[in-house]
Every structure is written in C-alpha cells, then in structure tokens.
Structure 1
Amino acid sequence: MAYIIEQEVVKYVCTCGLLKPISKLYFCRYCLEVRCGFCVCHEVDSHFCEKCLENMPSAEARLKKNRCGNCLICPSCLLHLSVRAATVGPKNPEDPKATPRKVVYLHCLMCRWSSRDVGIPDQIAATGGWPERENVYNVRLSEIIEWYKSVVLLEKQQKLEKDKKKQRKYMSFTDKTGLTAEMIRKRIGLTEPPNPLLKTKAKPLEGAIAKEDVEELPDNIFTQPIKLNEITTVQQRLLQPEWQPVTVDKLFPIHKHLSVKQSLRCRSCEHNVSKPEFNPNSVRFKIQLFAYYHIPEIRIVTVEPLRAGQPAELLLKFINPTQHQTVVTILDLSSMPELIQDDKCSADTSTDDELKPIEKEPLSLSLTQSASLLHTTLSRQPSFTIKPRQTKQQVGADIEIPAANFVLPPRDDAAEFDDSGENYNFNDDPRLVKWRKSNKAVIKLQITPSTDLNLGDQVVVGFVMQHIYTNTIATSVEKDKEPQKCQHKIRVFLSLGNLLGSSE
C-alpha cells in the first residue's frame, strides 16, 4: 500500500476555526481544547545564543539589543564567521632575535569575506575584542529615548492625579490580606508616598533642523556603468540600519541575534501546553502537550480514482498515540455545530456506553477583578475567550457514515517489532475494519464526489472524529480517584486529489 506522507493532506479544525495539520496543534488536558499557534499565549522564558550557547537574563539581553557580544555573522552571506590564524613578520624586523608572531582575523567559509577586506586590524587573541564601529547619531538617539521616557512618566503622573480625584464608593479586596495597601494607608491616616520618578517633567527636545544646502549628485552618476558585485543589496543594508552601507567595502561584521526559548500557554485555563528546559544545551521539554500525543492520527492509505457522481473506496489508517484504549466513531459534520464544540466527560466507568456529560469550568481571569490582582501578573497576558471563526472549507464529496465504531488498542512500542500472530477479540465489522496491528487500524469508507465539481477540481471530504480520551490529571483531592474519560470531538478534512473525467 502506498502511503501519502504529506501532512497538509489531512487537516484538523482548531478550536478557533483554523485548519492545521496535527503536527502544528496542541491539546490542553485541562480544558480539553485543541489549540494552534495563533490561539495560545507566547511567553519568552530565556534568551541564548545558538552558536556559543551563552544564556543571559532578559534585562541583560535588552541592554545588548538582543545580540550576542562574542559571536559575529558575515555581513555578505549572513553565515557564522570563523577565526583564522595567520603568521606575520615581527614588529622589529631589524632585530635578529625577533620571531614571527601569530595573529587572527575573521573569515567566512562560504563567500570568502574577510575582515581584512574592510580594513579591520588583526587581533592577537581569538577571544574577541574586535573593534566596534561607532554610530554618529548615537547621541541624538539617546536624547530621543530619554525624552520619550519622560513623556511616559508624565502621563503616568497625570493618570494617578485623575484617579485620586475620583471617589470610590466600594473598597477593593484581595484574596490574601483582605484590604489593599492603599486602603490600609488611608484608614490610618497616612498619605501615599510620592514616586520621585513621576515628578519629573518632560524636558524640551530640540527638533531636527532641515538643511537648505543639499549635496549635489556627481556628474557621472548617469554615465558610469554599474558594477553589481560592488553594490550592497537591500537586505545587507537593512541589517545595518545605523550606517546602511552602499558599497561592499563598507560592510562590517554583525553581532548575531539572540534566540529565545518560549513557552505556550492556553488562553482559556492559563495552563502551559508547551514549556522547554531553561538550559540552552537541552532540547527537551518540561511540558509537551502536542496533539500528536493525545489525538488519534489519520493517514490516507489509498483512494480509488475520483469521478463525479461515482462512488469510490477510501482507506484510512487510524493510529492511537496514547497509553489507553480508545473507541473511535465517525460522525457527520452536521453532528458538530460550526462554532460550538461540546465535550462530554465523566469519571471512569466499567463500559464506554455509561459516559455521562459533566460541565467544564474554564479557569479564566475575569477582567472585573481588583487592579492589584491584575498587576501581580504583568508578565502574563490576561486570559480571555476566543470567539471561533467560521471554517470556510468547502466539501466536495459525500461520505457514507458507518453505523459501527471501532476500537484502537493502547500504544505498545514493543509490538512494532513483533511479527508473530496477533489475536484481537474486538468483534470488528469486516465491512468497516480491513486491517489492524498493534495500535493501528485501517478502515474503509465510501465517498461520492459531487456532480457540481469541474474537471481537475480538488476533492475535499470532511467528517467528525469522536474518540474517548482518558484524562489522567487529578481533578479532586480524593485518594481513590480514577482516570477521567472524555468524549472528544474534532472535525477533520481530507484532500483526496483532483477530479478525473468519466471512465470510457
């Protein structure tokens, strides 16, 4: 059987309504929702250099303009610069006892760019200390930054004065101490200590003065032939916005940008769905709730030639990635509303038919809480409910929904290498399940392309996959608690190929 490896062929519908392959989705085990990269909160955990693996805090990275102080990249091809050693003559050639000395310089192994091409002097040690190019507008930029900081502080001062004039009818309370520090200070008769930074006034900034005398263009600008190998590209100029060199002889090495390790947080319950290790040497994750490890994966095995109005056979492979047995049911798209996704959960029972729905309570942060609670988590974005968008995927074929469901055993890594006979007593319908091994099963579906399609149009079929997810997260303080089972539904769309002409 020929497998279709392309991931974009099988797409799952995210909670927000976007179509994504399963490799680009996350599954929150707390609110039981599928999340993509656009409906999660991105938080930066650490900054590091991917070449020297130097880790630095956020404050230091901000001061260094998010660049590494040791690693340099080539200004021509943007690859890493290597340090090459060379031997030069002694400082005093007339001294008979003088020996040649070793120096180092920067060299690109890709485009052969060298620091000697732009006149950077060679260094004795290879540990850094390369001369930096000064910006002639550095003083002006510093003045503008300081002026904007004073403007921001002045706006804060005016906002605080307006808040003091407003009389609050009700007191604000906190969960830990009851009264806030501001209310306690008012009760005992103390005034709020003024912030010395807010009393500063915005210093007047001298505006830029336009020049009346502009340098004229050279006479040979329209007659001299252009040498493209001596002129920099737009990308090379934008990488050095302070100077924007026009010719290649003014290209200087660029400090490498820092990379970040970021964690992803669910916007509904504020739990992490992905969190890497803090150490830049490690590629592991502390939390790795990818949908690939919780939701059954669907692969297209084979499909018969697609012709308008004629039924075709479709074979799909379902893979169970979890360590628990699950039951998969194929439903029609009309069984799941477009903008509402219902999940039915219950405690673990003896049979799967006894699953009872329970209500989910998302742990979202209300915007009506006191201001003191909101300011305690300034580094985290406040959670809010994302309004799903309508999926605009057009379905071009009808699918015959099977009446029976099928069971997927738990994942067993050792069974992948066991070719001995496997006996399953699942009482599968032979018209539905055609093949199974370990945690995989191949089912057969009948599809009929629509007669409204034109020759060569893409045939897309969709259905709802309902599977039983076993949630092992503790939801109560009871000692003898059992795993929680949930009936999770997700919409799936398959791109089967182009429509063919009628058979002769």
Structure 2
Amino acid sequence: MSTYIDINLVKYVCSCGKKQPFCRLYLCRHCSELRCVDCVQHEGDSHYCSHCLENMPSAEAKMRKNRCSRCLDCPACGNTLMTRATNLMVTTPDANKASTPTTPKKMYYLACGFCRWTTRDVAIPDQTVASGGLPEQENEANKLIAPLLEHYHLLAQKEKTEKERKKYVKRRSHMYYAAEKDKYGLISVAMKKTSLASALTTHSLKEDEVKMVEPVAGTVTDFDALPASVYTEPLDVLTVTTMSQRLANCEFQPVSMLGLYPLRKHLLLRKSLRCKECEHNLIKPDYNPLSIKFKIQLNAINFVPDIRIQSPAVFMKNKETLVCLTVSNPSVYNMAVHLLPVEGAVDPLVTAKIDLPRQEIVIWKRDDAAIYDDTSQLQHEIRDDPSLVAFRKANKIGLYVRVTPFVDTGDVTVNFHVKHEYRNTTATIQSEVKEPPVVWLDHQVFVTVGKIQQ
C-alpha cells in the first residue's frame, strides 16, 4: 500500500490544529484528545551509550560532556571503532647470555571496519591496554575558558546569596513591645530573623572578591595571506578533510587527514512524554537500555482507526473517480465508525470534493489469530452493501468513496471527519463496572489520494 512508504499521504489534525502523520500522534486517555510532539512535555529519563549500553543519570552525563568514556567513533566516517590486537616482539637483554632473546608483547590499536581507517594512519602509537589507554587531546582554549567559568560561577553564587538575604530584610513595624511584656514571644522571633539576616550578610560575596576577567577576544582586521602552493600545486582531495569531519570535532577542526583523532561516542537519551493539559504520562519507557518495552505507551495507532489508500487512481478535473480506502480497527473491541463531511469553509489544502458512505460501519476487533483463519464466521454476520464495501477481512474493511477534483494541476487532497467509539479502560480500574464506558471521538483527516493527470 502506498501509505506504508509515504506517511504524509494521510494526516490527522491534532488538538492544537497541526496536521501530523498518524504514526506521530498520541492519544491522551484522560483528556480523550490527540497530542503531537508539540502538545506534550519531554522529560529525560536516562542517558545511555548505543554501543556498550551503559546508562547513567543526567548529572553524570553532564559531567562527561554527554559522551561515553569507553566507546570511540571513527573521525573519517562516524562508525564505531573496534579494538584490534597485534603481537610486538620486544627484546629483553640478559647479562648472562650473549644473545638478546625476544618475547612477544600484545599491543592494541583502533580500526574502523567500514572505511578501514586506523589509528596507525595518523601516527598514534599502539596501546598496551585494550580500552582506556588513548590519551586525550589538549585544547589551548581551555586556559581561556576556565577563568570565565570561574568568574560566572562567582557571579551566580553572589546573585543567589543576595536573593536569600532579601527574604530576611528587617521590615519596619508600627508595634513595639517591651521585653517584659513579650507575652507571645514576638521579640524572640524578630531577633532570630535579624541574626539570620546578619549571617547571610557576612557570608555574601563582596565586590572585591569577584574579580573581573579581562577580555581576550578582539576584532580581526586583517588575515594572513595564503601560501603560494595553493595557486601553483594541484589539490589532493584525499588529504583534505570534509566539512562534516571538521564539524564532528569542533574543538580542533583538523584541515588535513593526518590531524584526525578518534572521537568519544555521543550518548543517547531515553525520554518520557507527558500531556501538558492533564500532566499524565503518554510514553514511559523502561529505565534499562537493554529493554525495548514500555511501561506506558499511548500511541494513537493503538486506539484510533487507521485510514490508508488501497490503490492509486487516475484523476481528471471535474470527473468523478472511485477510490478505495481501508479502515483498520486496532483495539480489542468491536468499533463503530462514521465518516462525516466537513461543514463550513473549505480548507485551502482541499482540492477535491468527496462523497462518503452515510451509514454506520462496524469493524471487528483485532485478533491476531483471525488473520490466518479464512473460515471465520464473523465476516458473514453483517450484510455489506457491495457498492460501498469493497472487502472485509479480520479487523480491516475496504470502503469505496467518490472523489471529484476541482483544480487543473497538483495533488488531489480531501478532508473529512472520522467519528468512532473509544472504550476508556482507565475508568474501569477505579470502578466496579466490567465493561469500560464508551466515548465517541471525532478526528479530522486529510488524505492525498493522488495527482491530476496531465
């Protein structure tokens, strides 16, 4: 089917008004509304490495600059580097013997299995350990950034202390009590606040303690001239790095291929999605990176009927064309569906008129075993109109709709409403009703059924 390849052919309208593909929508079972990535709140659960699957909290990932401490990426192509072992013959001098015997010693180097790049290509010596022995590159700009970080840390600490001190500033009062008439202990409470404010004042940073950092950056007025070899000698592309290779290592940005250095692998983030309206979780993955299961997974594809295009058709202006759409029921209950026209002003994206079936359509529940059972009696319980229903198989039904374009060129896009039953299973957990309550949901759908034939 064409919509398996191009997911933008069928779009559902989110509750915020944006048109999104069906596979990128979520259904909040508490609000009974569709949510897209812009309607939900993203929360990071844990960081992990995609190669060694080491997971860590956000504070530790921030300290490691969001990179794995063990895995390395190839600076030429970006794939993961593998450790290779080799034997090196080392001479061990012996005073008792005239000849110097040699003993094998195992050494390790890094190699890329995709582009065949190795650390030996850039003259990085072999290491004596399998992992963790590669030295880190030293950046000269760290000497300039370290004073700036220290300066702004002091400023942040000063602002925080000033905010705390203002909370306990002594306020003027129109009521004064003598010490001997302090019946309710108000003077003692005021003295505690005064002592606390004085303590915050003594611990606050002074202006002299925050040393201003002299600016080291300046405006560049002239540039060095290019060497003469740029104009006289031919350029060897194999010895010059590409823009992607330079931007992958932003701290150094090597120009020559001999300046490439293995890169620490970036960490990935496992995040959960929360509805902004009711603040309930829509997506909650498992904390363990080895697991692909979800604790909460409220994708719209598991609750809302899926509409797809059965086969392409040929369209001409002001000519009615028969199009077959398939509607699938992803839930475990039988679902009643209504296809309703859109009333009011025509959307600018709509380029055709559609004639929909007016009767109620009942789609059987999803049953994995019924897909392989062609002798099911459920298909014969309902008498379908052959002029409206193309086929019915398990939880899928094919419907005929008539589309009439009113444009000369471009895509043929139609829109309509899908009104279906939804059984909210969250309400049955808190009540004693066995059958979950039925709620009718309405969604607007935009379908690009084809193009105008020239």
TM-score (ref. length: structure 1): 0.77
**Counterpart position of 1:139:** 143
**Counterpart position of 1:370:** none
**Counterpart position of 1:14:** 14
- In 2, are the aligned partners of 1:459 and 1:495 still within 8 Å (CA)? yes
State the SS of the aligned residue for 1:99. Answer: strand
Q: CA deviation at 1:466?
A: 0.3
**Counterpart position of 2:278:** 269
Q: What residue ranges of structure 2 are gaps of 5+ in the alignment?
A: 172-185
Q: Deviations over 1:130-167 (max 9, x none)?
A: 11111122222111112222223333444556666798
Q: CA deviation at 1:281?
A: 0.9
Give the partner amino acid of 1:251. Answer: L
CA distance in structure 2 between the aligned counterparts of 1:99 and 1:492, rounded to whole angstroms: 74
**Counterpart position of 1:363:** none
Identify if the C-alpha distance between structure 1 residues 213 and 301 changes in structure 2 by more than 3 Å, giving closer, same or farther.
closer
Give the partner amino acid of 2:4. Answer: I
Q: CA deviation at 1:497?
A: 1.1
State the SS of the aligned residue for 1:265. Answer: strand
Identify if the C-alpha distance between structure 1 residues 16 and 223 changes in structure 2 by more than 3 Å, giving closer, same or farther.
same
CA distance in structure 1 between the aligned counterparts of 2:145 and 2:202, rounded to whole angstroms: 25
Give the partner amino acid of 2:258. Answer: D
Match of 2:413 among 460, 474, 496: 460
Moved more, 245-254 or 86-95: 86-95
Moved more, 88-97 or 130-139: 88-97
**Counterpart position of 2:356:** 401
Q: What residue ranges of structure 1 are gaps of 5+ in the alignment?
A: 168-184, 339-391
- In 2, are the aligned partners of 1:150 and 1:203 still within 8 Å (CA)? no
CA distance in structure 1 between the aligned counterparts of 2:330 and 2:281, rounded to whole angstroms: 20
- In 2, are the aligned partners of 1:406 and 1:428 still within 8 Å (CA)? no
- In 1, are the aligned partners of 2:92 and 2:101 still within 8 Å (CA)? no
CA distance in structure 2 between the aligned counterparts of 1:484 and 1:116, rounded to whole angstroms: 68
Q: Does 1:78 align with 2:103?
A: no
**Counterpart position of 2:214:** 206
Q: CA deviation at 1:27?
A: 0.9
**Counterpart position of 2:121:** 117
Match of 2:399 among 424, 433, 443: 443
Give the partner amino acid of 1:133. Answer: Q
Give the partner amino acid of 1:444. Answer: Y
- In 1, are the aligned partners of 2:49 and 2:267 still within 8 Å (CA)? yes
Q: Deviations over 1:10-41 (max 9, x none)?
A: 11111122222211111111111111122211
Q: Deviations over 1:405-449 (max 9, x none)?
A: 111121111111101152443454444333212211112122221
Q: Deviations over 1:160-198 (max 9, x none)?
A: 56666798xxxxxxxxxxxxxxxxx99944325749986
Moved more, 199-208 or 73-82: 199-208
Q: CA deviation at 1:238?
A: 1.8
State the SS of the aligned residue for 1:101. Answer: strand
Structure number with greater Rg is 2
Richer in helix (by share):
2
State the SS of the aligned residue for 1:89. Answer: strand
Please give the residue correspondences for 1:175-214 in structure 2 after superposition, counting only pairs within 5 Å.
Answer: 188-189=189-190, 190-191=192-193, 194=200, 199=205, 202-208=210-216, 210=218
Q: Deviations over 1:89-112 (max 9, x none)?
A: 214478543312221111112222
TM-score (ref. length: structure 2): 0.85
CA distance in structure 2 between the aligned counterparts of 1:187 and 1:420, rounded to whole angstroms: 88
Q: CA deviation at 1:54?
A: 1.0
Please give the residue correspondences for 1:285-434 in structure 2 after superposition, counting only pairs within 5 Å.
Answer: 285-302=294-311, 304-334=313-343, 394-423=349-378, 424-434=380-390
State the SS of the aligned residue for 1:236. Answer: helix
- In 1, are the aligned partners of 2:313 and 2:450 still within 8 Å (CA)? no
- In 1, are the aligned partners of 2:13 and 2:444 still within 8 Å (CA)? yes
- In 2, are the aligned partners of 1:406 and 1:433 still within 8 Å (CA)? no
Give the partner amino acid of 2:357. Answer: P
Identify if the C-alpha distance between structure 1 residues 407 and 135 changes in structure 2 by more than 3 Å, giving closer, same or farther.
same
- In 1, are the aligned partners of 2:370 and 2:376 still within 8 Å (CA)? no
CA distance in structure 1 between the aligned counterparts of 2:222 and 2:402, rounded to whole angstroms: 79
Q: CA deviation at 1:290?
A: 0.7
Identify if the C-alpha distance between structure 1 residues 214 and 312 changes in structure 2 by more than 3 Å, giving closer, same or farther.
closer
CA distance in structure 2 between the aligned counterparts of 1:70 and 1:413, rounded to whole angstroms: 43
Moved more, 235-244 or 420-429: 420-429
- In 2, are the aligned partners of 1:67 and 1:257 still within 8 Å (CA)? yes
Instruction: Give the root-mean-square deviation of aligned CA atoms.
Output: 2.9
CA distance in structure 2 between the aligned counterparts of 1:106 and 1:286, rounded to whole angstroms: 39
**Counterpart position of 2:174:** none
CA distance in structure 2 between the aligned counterparts of 1:17 and 1:195, rounded to whole angstroms: 53
Identify if the C-alpha distance between structure 1 residues 316 and 243 changes in structure 2 by more than 3 Å, giving closer, same or farther.
same
Q: Deviations over 1:440-464 (max 9, x none)?
A: 11121222211xx11x421111100
| Number of residue pairs the alignment of both structures matches | 426
Q: CA deviation at 1:302?
A: 3.1
Identify if the C-alpha distance between structure 1 residues 479 and 119 changes in structure 2 by more than 3 Å, giving closer, same or farther.
same
Aligned-pair identity (%)? 39
- In 1, are the aligned partners of 2:91 and 2:100 still within 8 Å (CA)? no
Match of 1:149 among 153, 164, 167: 153
State the SS of the aligned residue for 2:442. Answer: strand
Q: Deviations over 1:288-310 (max 9, x none)?
A: 11111010011111354312112
**Counterpart position of 1:500:** 453
Q: CA deviation at 1:476?
A: 8.3
**Counterpart position of 1:483:** 436
Q: CA deviation at 1:473?
A: 0.3
